[in-house]
Amino acid sequence: MEPQESVFIRVNGEILESLINRTSQNKVSKGMILAKFLEIDQEKGIAIIQSTDEKQLKFSISKDKFSIDKNNYYQICFTFEYTTTIGVQGVVLSLFDFGPVDSFDTYSYSLTYFNYWNIIKERYPQLKTESDQMDQ
């Protein structure tokens, strides 16, 4: 059975251009990244991760569900949508805090869901197993 969507990963690097472009074309609806939050709006609960070409990926964070530390790495499972006024905006489904980890390499992946864990688990055994949300 062919996967319906791709899962995208960003590890302490740049947001994949394919994620932004495909989301803008309404081809992607969910994904997972490993990243630090670069900016946190405490009032609105919006976390922003920005790429080098001024494009942004914005995450809506429910402050009663998640506590965010700018110094920590997070495994983030999210859904996202594209609007012409806001751009690409994601809503976080689950968040796993690794703490102030400094051992993650700088690289990015764009892989199908079925290939994702086979490759990443070997390199980063501290990653959690597949989330139920990712199977929906």
Taking CA atoms, 133 is separated from 78, 92, 112, 125, in Å, by 9, 11, 16, 20
Model confidence, pTM: 0.57
What are the tens digits of pLDDT across the range 1-32? 433 344 445 543 344 455 556 666 665 566 66
One CATH from 2.40.128, 2.40.50, 3.40.50, 2.40.160 for 6-135: 2.40.50
DSSP secondary structure letter of residue 5: S
Q: What's the pLDDT tens digit per position in 71-115? A: 887 877 777 676 667 666 677 888 888 888 766 654 444 434 334
Strand order in the sheet with 46-50: 39-41, 46-50, 56-60, 87-99, 73-83, 30-35, 6-11, 107-112
Going by C-alpha positions, the residue among 4, 16, 3 that lies closest to residue 109 is: 16
